[in-house]
Amino acid sequence: MAKHWTAQDIPNQSGKKVLITGGNRGLGFQMALELARKQAQVTLACRSTRKGNAAAERIRSLLGAAVQVEVLALDLNDLESIRDFTGAYKERHNSLDILINNAAVVNLKEKSTNPMGWEMHMATNHLGHFALTAQLYPIIRDTEGARVVTMGSGAHKFGTLDLSDIHWEKRPYDRSISYGDSKLANMLFMRKLQQKFETEGVNAISVGAHPGLSATERQQSIGIGGWLTKIMAQPVSKGVLPALRAATDPEVKGGAYYGPRYMICGYPILAGLDKKALDQKKADTLWELSEHLTRTTF
């Protein structure tokens, strides 16, 4: 029987620069911890620098004061914050080996919008990450062997992604479909970005991953789903393995999607995307709409 892939299989990351959105808690924190353990230089992109600094201090307390971890402020719901963040990152660094688009909001009970009128699932989970990746694209492109890992979810299978009403202005709001839409958008973006790398001859790959059902604070707070999570979920240390494999396994190919073997739990393996995530026309239209809304281009 083939050996399970675990965090022990992460190659040494010395000299590599890693950026994780939402790196101060849950899955993002665990990713940062494991990559810092393997000597990566990690940037935690967090809305709250206070919480980010606390997370960084915790990593240092666990791994030692010499660990390389920094915190920069980023609000994915604010285009100005994204511009400020990318400017600050570029002032400090001229390369980026691994970008993990991890931060997310999940199943918001009531429809809410950001100051630009964007529905919050789509704003945080897709559009903010789209703008962030676009603004970091020049240094990603110039970093040999760079990877962009975009976090998905099994919920992408339930998304419909009506691009004529992306912000739920015409339809009655449905939180499950809205969240699924944002995760479907993530996977359409992931595959389209890989196509861009290939078309432009960029030595980088775009990969997707999902954590299954993991016992994060966020998941445990969602109604009856949170109750089930407490009973059935795998620990966060296992839930991060698909993303860590996507980010570091030398055998990973661009456009791949990793998840737990048994969908909600298990060691990481290649997973299957719903056919809706393979819709090229929708991917092309979403890309154009995302550039228009975020006023960014790759």
Task: Indicate if 179 belongs to the active site.
Answer: yes
pLDDT digits (tens, 9 = 90+) for 277-295: 999 999 999 999 999 999 9
Report whether pLDDT(225) > 70: no
Q: b/e map of 137-147 (b: 16 or more CB within 10 Å)?
A: bebbbebeebb
Largest Cα span, the chain? 53
- Structure tokens belonging to residue 284: 């092309």
pLDDT digits (tens, 9 = 90+) for 18-49: 999 999 999 999 999 999 999 999 999 999 99
Alpha carbons 243 and 233: distance in angstroms, whole number: 17
Pick 14-293's CATH classification: 3.40.640.10, 3.55.50.30, 3.40.50.720, 2.60.40.10: 3.40.50.720
In single-letter form, the type of residue at position 8 comes to Q
Q: Which pLDDT does position 222 carry in this prediction?
A: 47
Q: b/e map of 15-50 (b: 16 or more CB within 10 Å)?
A: ebbbbbbbbbbbbbbbbbbbbbbbbbbbbbbbbeee
Report whether pLDDT(221) > 70: no
- Structure tokens belonging to residue 117: 């009128």
pLDDT digits (tens, 9 = 90+) for 258-279: 999 887 888 989 999 999 999 9
Backbone angles phi, psi at 257, to 5 degrees: -140, 120
From the candidates 89, 137, 179, 257, which is the catalytic residue?
179
Question: What residues does each domain of the chain span?
Answer: 14-293
- pTM of structure: 0.94
pLDDT digits (tens, 9 = 90+) for 114-149: 999 999 999 999 999 999 999 999 999 999 999 999
Q: Which pLDDT does position 223 carry in this prediction?
A: 47
- Structure tokens belonging to residue 211: 């954590």
